[in-house]
Structure 1
Amino acid sequence: MDTRELKITASLAGLSLSSEEARELSRQVSRMLEYFEQMNEIDVDSLDPTTHTLSKVNRLREDSEVHGERLSSTADTLLDNAPELEDRFIVIPNVL
């Protein structure tokens, strides 16, 4: 990136740079862009895409039956034994 391009970019970003700052920053940005070019030359076609840094796909366990009953029947049993219901919610007395 030359100094002229850098000054335009700095102006768009609302930055004011002296000529010396622009020259130094231009050198630094050019070095970074060279590193990016080197990274583009790396052959990654044989690698799987990385979308997550963790290798575990799903850390949650599978749903299972509890003592031979499905969990929904356990919930139904709980609701059947509740003293007062509103729709499928248990009504409790006010505590405040």
Structure 2
Amino acid sequence: MSITNQDVQHVAKLARLNLSDEEETQLTEQLNAILQYAEKLNELDTDEIEPTTHVLHVSNVMREDEVRESLPIEKVMLNAPDEEEGQIKVPAILE
């Protein structure tokens, strides 16, 4: 598979890019080089390689949920800038 100047012109039109003839030629060459490299990767024998979703082994480290007492409302309100009827009062952001 290779990219032609017409392909580059079509994509440029879709992206509303005004490319000069020199830019079209340069992009065509660069895109073809990328495709040639991808074709080289297809030559690799990957039969013994297990499929992965990520290059590095990544796992979430999460603690178990524990039921425990929460802070009493009086202690929580000590940290609130303003309080009204047992709720934290904040400045209005909408009129």
State the TM-score bracket (shorter-chain normalisation): 0.5 to 0.7
3-state SS of paired residue (1:8):
helix
Measured in 2, the distance between the counterparts of 1:90 and 1:25 equals 62
Unaligned runs of 5+ in 2: 83-95
Instruction: Give the count of matched residue pairs.
Output: 74
Question: What residue is the counterpart of 1:66 in the other structure?
Answer: none
Question: What residue is the counterpart of 2:20 in the other structure?
Answer: 18
- Aligned equivalent of 2:34, options 23, 32, 35: 32
CA-CA distance at 1:90 after TM superposition = 5.3
- RMSD between aligned alpha carbons? 2.5
Distance 1:58 1:17, change over 3 A: closer
TM-score (norm 2): 0.60
1:91 aligns with 2:72: yes
Runs of 4+ residues deviating >4 angstroms: 56-61
* Mapping for residues 1-96 of structure 1, pairs under 5 Å: 1-55=3-57, 59=61, 75=68, 91-93=72-74, 94-95=77-78, 96=82
CA-to-aligned-CA distance 1:43-80 (integer Å, 9 cap, x gap): 2121011223333656557x6xxxxxxx65xx4xx5xx
3-state SS of paired residue (2:54):
coil
Measured in 2, the distance between the counterparts of 1:28 and 1:42 equals 22
Q: Percent identity?
A: 34
Q: Which has the larger radius of gyration?
A: 1
